C-alpha cells in the first residue's frame, strides 16, 4: 500500500503533469478557442461579470453585454463573445421590429469607445415557433434562422419607413455579440457592448421576410490549403474547413470564409438557391457583412445584366478596420424574379503585406405578402 507521503507525491506529480499538458494544449489552440476558455474561467472565478444588464425603454429594448477582455489581436470571429435570450415584451401582442444598433462602451464609465472593438452582433430567432405561430409551417427549416447581423462598419441598421419584421412580443430572440481588435497587440483592458432593438405596435406596418445570401467559393476538398491552380476560376483557400463550409450537392466543397491575397481582386457566386424565389419578391432593405479590405459589394441581376444595388465600403487609412459601410433601403422596393439569375459580387483591395480573411454576405428583406394577408385577416376577424 502507498503511504500518505507517496500519495501526496503522486497527486502533486499528476497535477503538475496535467497542468503542463493543459498549458501546451491551450497555447496550441486558435485565438477563438483561447478566448472561449478565458471567458469561461474568468466567469467561474468571479473575475468578470457574466450578467447581461437590461434597460428596457419604451419601444426600444436596450441590453449591455458582460465584460470582454481585450488582451491581444482578435480578428473577425476570434474575439470573446456572449449570448443572451431576450423577449421584447411580456405578452404575446404583435410588435414590429424596425431597427438594430450596437456600440462598444468602456467597462467602467459605460461611455462609447471606438467601434473598432465590435466584431458582430447576431439576432437569431426560433423559426419553428416563429413561423408556427403564423401557420407558415412550410417555411420551417428552409434556412438558418438569423433575422440579421450587425458588424464592424455597420453598427446601425433600420428598415425603411412603414416596414418591419412582425413577431409576438414574448417570442424569444437569441442575441450574440463578439469583440474585435485588429490594431492593438499589447492591449489589456475590459469593455462591453450595448445593443438596442427598436420596435413598434403600429398595425399599419408592412411585414418583411428576411433571407440570407452570401458568396460561396469552391475549394479543393482533398488539399484545401493549397493555392488554386487557376485563380481565374473563382476558387479559394478556406480559412478553415469546419465552419462556413458547404457541399454544393454534387460533391464539391464551397467556403463562405476564405483567404484573400494582397492587392485587388473580385469574387462572386450565384445566390439563386439561397433566394429560392417562387414567383417574385419585392426587395426593400439589405444589411451587409464584409471584413476589412472589402471596398464594394453588389447584388447583380445576371439575366438583365443590371446592378440592383451597390454598397461601398470605406476602410481605415491607418490600421485595419472599416470606417463606414453602406446599406440598402427603399420604401418603393425593387422586384426580383424567379426566372432571373442573381449573384453577389465583391471587390477587395488588400493593402496590407499579408493574406487576410474575407466574407461577403447580405441580409435581404422582402415584402412578405403572404404574411401580410394572414395579419390582415386576423385584424379583420
pLDDT in tens, the chain (381 residues): 456 566 656 666 566 666 555 566 646 556 655 666 666 666 666 666 788 999 888 899 999 999 999 999 999 888 999 999 999 999 999 999 999 999 999 999 999 999 999 999 999 999 999 999 999 999 999 988 999 999 999 999 999 999 999 999 999 999 999 999 999 999 999 999 999 999 999 999 999 999 999 999 999 888 888 876 555 567 789 998 888 899 888 888 999 999 999 999 999 999 999 999 999 999 999 999 999 999 999 999 999 999 999 999 999 999 999 999 999 999 999 999 999 999 999 999 999 999 999 999 999 999 999 999 999 886 544
Half-sphere exposure of 130 (CA within 13 A, CB side): 21
Secondary-structure class of domain 41-206 per CATH: mainly beta
pLDDT of residue 15: 60
The reply to whether 211-372 shares the fold of 41-206 is: yes
Domain boundaries, the chain: 4-40, 41-206, 211-372
What is the arrangement of strands in the sheet containing 253-255, beginning at the earlier edge strand? 217-219, 253-255, 245-247
CATH topology of domain 211-372: Jelly Rolls (2.60.120)
> Which among 183, 215, 99 is positioned nearest to 148, based on CA atoms?
99
201 and 90 Cβ atoms separated by less than 8 Å: no
CB atoms within 10 A of CB 298: 18
| 15-36 CB burial, b ≥16 within 10 A, e <16 | eeeeeeeeeeeeeeeeebebbe
C-alpha cell at 88: 421584447
Instruction: State the Cα–Cα distance between residues 42 and 320, nearest whole angstrom.
Output: 28
Model pTM score = 0.88
pLDDT of residue 25: 61
* Helix H or strand E segment including 298: strand 294-301
Amino acid at each position: 500500500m502507498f503511504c500518505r507521503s507517496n500519495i501526496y507525491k503522486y497527486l502533486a506529480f499528476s497535477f503538475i503533469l496535467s497542468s503542463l499538458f493543459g498549458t501546451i494544449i491551450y497555447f496550441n489552440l486558435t485565438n477563438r478557442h483561447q478566448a472561449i476558455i478565458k471567458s469561461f474561467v474568468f466567469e467561474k472565478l468571479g473575475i468578470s461579470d457574466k450578467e447581461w444588464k437590461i434597460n428596457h425603454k419604451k419601444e426600444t429594448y436596450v441590453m449591455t453585454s458582460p465584460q470582454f477582455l481585450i488582451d491581444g489581436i482578435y480578428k473577425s470571429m476570434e474575439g470573446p463573445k456572449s449570448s443572451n435570450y431576450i423577449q421584447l415584451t411580456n405578452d404575446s401582442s404583435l410588435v414590429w421590429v424596425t431597427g438594430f444598433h450596437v456600440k462598444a462602451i468602456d467597462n467602467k464609465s459605460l461611455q462609447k469607445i471606438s467601434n473598432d472593438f465590435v466584431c458582430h452582433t447576431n439576432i437569431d430567432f426560433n423559426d419553428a415557433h416563429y413561423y408556427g405561430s403564423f401557420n407558415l409551417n412550410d417555411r420551417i427549416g428552409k434556412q438558418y434562422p438569423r433575422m440579421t447581423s450587425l458588424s464592424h462598419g455597420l453598427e446601425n441598421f433600420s428598415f425603411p419607413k412603414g416596414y418591419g419584421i412582425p413577431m409576438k412580443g414574448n417570442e424569444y430572440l437569441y442575441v450574440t455579440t463578439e469583440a474585435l481588435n485588429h490594431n492593438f497587440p499589447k492591449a489589456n483592458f475590459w469593455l462591453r457592448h450595448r445593443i438596442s432593438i427598436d420596435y413598434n405596435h403600429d398595425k399599419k406596418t408592412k411585414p418583411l421576410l428576411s433571407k440570407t445570401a452570401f458568396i460561396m467559393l469552391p475549394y479543393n476538398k482533398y488539399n484545401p490549403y493549397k493555392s488554386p491552380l487557376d485563380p481565374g476560376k473563382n476558387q479559394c483557400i478556406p480559412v478553415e474547413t469546419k465552419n462556413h463550409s458547404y457541399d454544393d450537392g454534387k460533391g464539391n466543397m464551397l467556403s463562405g470564409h476564405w483567404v484573400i491575397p494582397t492587392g485587388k481582386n473580385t469574387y462572386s457566386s450565384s445566390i439563386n438557391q439561397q433566394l429560392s424565389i417562387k414567383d417574385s419578391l419585392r426587395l426593400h432593405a439589405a444589411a451587409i457583412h464584409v471584413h476589412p479590405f472589402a471596398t464594394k459589394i453588389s447584388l447583380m441581376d445576371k439575366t438583365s445584366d443590371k446592378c440592383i444595388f451597390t454598397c461601398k465600403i470605406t476602410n481605415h487609412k491607418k490600421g485595419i478596420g472599416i470606417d463606414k459601410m453602406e446599406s440598402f433601403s427603399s420604401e418603393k422596393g425593387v422586384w426580383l424574379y424567379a426566372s432571373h439569375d442573381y449573384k453577389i459580387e465583391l471587390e477587395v483591395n488588400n493593402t496590407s503585406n499579408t493574406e487576410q480573411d474575407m466574407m461577403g454576405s447580405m441580409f435581404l428583406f422582402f415584402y412578405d405578402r403572404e404574411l401580410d394577408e394572414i395579419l390582415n385577416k386576423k385584424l379583420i376577424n
